[in-house]
Structure formats: structure tokens, C-alpha cells
Amino acid sequence: MITLHHLRIGRSIFTVWLLEELGAEYQLEVYLRDPTTMRAPEALQKIHPLGKSPVIDDDGLVIAESSAITTYLLEKYDTKHRLAPHRSNLAAWAKFTRWLHYPEGSVFLPLLVKMLLLRSGQAHATFEAFSEKEIKLHFDYIAKQLGASPYILGDDFSAADVGIAYVVSMAKRLGLLSSWPSLPAYLDRVQARPAYQRAIERAVE
């Protein structure tokens, strides 16, 4: 059985969501952040040297990094290709893979910079200019890709939506979505899915 090392208040809730979408059996090992520093506890370093979450342990196979975990879980559990296209459709698979890796690879950094600036309460013109320009660039791109579709790749929900929902939800918490009215509606739609609701019930509430 898979053990998900789940850090409260963090991105691993989205791995819980994916596991629920897949109908996989799993157990949670829950960790709490330091209330002062908001850093992960040192106990996570016993699981993986970086001490980050999410990390899964599948009968001794330890995997870190959200996109790598997603790829592994899809290979193992999504045998009917409900959440990702079959590799035989190379163009569709390549597009899916691009959107799967895009949130962590491109969008997260400017959001992180913005979050740290807000937490510090200090102005930094260079970092502010960088984050604002990049956030506009990326969220224009996401909103254009979404268009009038219900999901990021069209009419069908996919595992790529889990990652996109992560960065959209982060932007919402930072109060950054006023210029993209389609994105809060998108977030409400994907978070209304039963699997997401089960994930919240099991891992947060």
C-alpha cells in the first residue's frame, strides 16, 4: 500500500486528491509545520533527504517531486487512461505532459516570490517587478488555454488539472485573480469534484 507523507498546509493535498481520483488505496502519515517558521519538521528528512512533501512510499519505493509522483501513480493506477491520454496518441500525450509539468516548472516561482514579499512586508522593486510581470504572463496564458472549456485540456478532467488547480488556488490565496474571472470559476468547478471533497475531508478537516 502507498504511504503518502503529507505536510499540512502545503501542496501534498493535491497528491491526496489525485489518489482519490484514481481510487487507489493509501494511508497518510501527517506532519505539521513549525508554527513559528512554517517550515516542515525535521522528521520528513528521515523519509527523504530534502525533507519536503509530498513524498510517497510504495512498498519501499520512495518517490519525491509532485510531477514525478503523478507520473508514477498514473502509470500504476490509470490503466484505462481516464486522467491522461495513452502514449500511442503522441500529440495528445505531449500536450498533456507539457501542462502536467508546467505549474511546478514555470508558474510556481513567481508566485513564491510574491508570497515571500507579502510575508516579509518589505518592498523590493526588482522582485516585485519580476513577480508581477511573470504572474501576468502565466495567468494570461492559463486563462487563454482554458477559454470557455471546463478543464485545462478541454471537455475532460485530467491529472493536469490537479497541478493547474494548485497554482490557481495559490494565486487566489494571494489575492491575484481579479484580472482573470474565468479562473475562480474554474477552481470552484474542479474543487467541487467528489474526489477533491474526499481529499479535503480525509487530509485537512
pLDDT digits (tens, 9 = 90+) for 162-179: 999 999 999 999 999 999
Shared-domain flag, residues 63 and 9? yes
Shared-domain flag, residues 135 and 165? yes
Domains contained in the chain, number: 2
Least confident span in 7-11, 37-41, 97-101: 37-41
Shared-domain flag, residues 28 and 111? no
Q: Which among 86, 62, 71 has a CA at the least distance from the CA of 3? A: 62
What pLDDT does residue 205 have? 57
pLDDT at 39 over 70: yes
CB 191 within 8 A of CB 165: yes
Convert the pLDDT of each residue in 110-141 to its tens digit: 999 999 999 888 889 999 999 999 999 999 99
User: Terminal CA-to-CA distance of the chain, rounded, Å?
Assistant: 23
Q: Which among 91, 84, 109 has a CA at the least distance from the CA of 167? A: 109
The secondary element (H helix, E strand) that includes residue 23 is none
Supply the range of the domain harboring residue 199.
2-82+195-203
CA distances to 8, 27, 47 from 60, in Å: 23, 14, 11
pLDDT band at 15 (very low <50, low <70, confident <90, very high): very high
Domain CATH code at residue 47: 3.40.30.10
